[in-house]
């Protein structure tokens, strides 16, 4: 079922009872993809971006003026994002 939104956007209605099952299914699909060879390549690229490229963004003066970069810098976000990149890089799928 779909309904027309006020801005002309199509909205899809989802039964609230089926939402947890849908989320669990999407999680399983994502984990299956990340465990595949293509997922491993994606993990390495995402980790490289978070570990190497993102800290460079924090050093570009023009980008540092953006409110989101300033907020992340204030919150110590660069270090958190680098740690996230390391976690993505080092993640190994569990057998099962």
pLDDT at 84 over 60: yes
pLDDT digit string (tens) for 37-81?
Answer: 999 999 999 999 888 888 888 888 888 888 888 888 887 777 888
Per domain, the residue ranges of the chain are 15-90
Q: What is the pLDDT of residue 13?
A: 65
10 membership: H or E segment, kind and range: strand 10-12
Most distant CA atoms of the chain, gap in Å: 48
**Quick check: 46 and 85 in contact, CB under 8 A?**
yes
> Which among 81, 29, 92, 26 has a CA at the least distance from the CA of 56?
81
pLDDT digit string (tens) for 4-44?
Answer: 555 555 546 667 778 888 899 999 999 899 899 999 999 99
pLDDT at 93 over 70: yes
Whole-number CA gyration radius for the chain = 19
């Amino acid at each position: 079922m779909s309904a027309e939104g006020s801005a002309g956007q199509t909205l899809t209605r989802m039964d609230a009872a089926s939402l947890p099952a849908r989320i669990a299914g999407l999680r399983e699909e994502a984990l299956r993809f990340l465990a595949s060879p293509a997922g491993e390549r994606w993990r390495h690229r995402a980790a490289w971006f978070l570990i190497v490229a993102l800290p460079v963004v924090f050093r570009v003066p023009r980008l540092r003026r953006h409110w989101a970069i300033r907020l992340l810098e204030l919150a110590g976000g660069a270090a958190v994002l680098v740690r996230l990149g390391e976690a993505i890089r080092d993640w190994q799928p569990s057998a099962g």
